[in-house]
Amino acid sequence: QKEVEQNSGPLSVPEGAIASLNCTYSDRGSQSFFWYRQYSGKSPELIMFIYSNGDKEDGRFTAQLNKASQYVSLLIRDSQPSDSATYLCAHSGTYKYIFGTGTRLKVLA
């Protein structure tokens, strides 16, 4: 079982819709969870992190964490074509950052 699992996609949503990206993890000792965005040919950049159960909102982005279900998600409201990218979920336990394989998001204009 992979430590961090994501659906590879592509996930296609129309412009203005809500994009929902999901991630499950196997290590119950994981403390912090991260969402990185990676444009094609570029390096990953951090969008959000979350470490408490519940929701965390930042502009159009909301991260949701459920430690009991070992599940973390990212919602993107009012999706824009510029949001088209691969979204990588990651967690860190004591220190080591482990990434999922990423979900490719396509926002259709």
Partner 1 sequence: GAGVSQSPSNKVTEKGKDVELRCDPISGHTALYWYRQSLGQGLEFLIYFQGNSAPDKSGLPSDRFSAERTGGSVSTLTIQRTQQEDSAVYLCASSPYRGQNEKLFFGSGTQLSVL
Paired tokens of 7: 């659906």
Q: Is 73 in the site for partner 1 (CB under 8 A)?
A: no
Closest distance to partner 1 from the beta carbon of 103 (Å)? 10
Q: Is 39 in the site for partner 1 (CB under 8 A)?
A: no
Q: Is 52 in the site for partner 1 (CB under 8 A)?
A: no
Can you tell me which of 6, 62, 64, 73 binds partner 1, judged by CB under 8 A?
A: 6
Which distant-in-sequence residues (6+ apart) come within 8 Å of 84 by Cβ? 105, 106, 107
Q: Is 26 in the site for partner 1 (CB under 8 A)?
A: no
Q: Is 24 in the site for partner 1 (CB under 8 A)?
A: no
Whether a cis peptide bond, with omega within 30° of 0, leads into 10 is yes
- Sort 22 into a burial class: Cβ within 10 Å, 0-12 / 13-18 / 19+: middle
Can you tell me which of 46, 58, 66, 77 binds partner 1, judged by CB under 8 A?
A: 46
DSSP H helical ranges for the chain = none
β-bridge partners, 19: 76
* Pick 17 or 38: Cβ nearer partner 1: 38
How many residues bind to partner 1 according to rule CB under 8 A?
Answer: 22
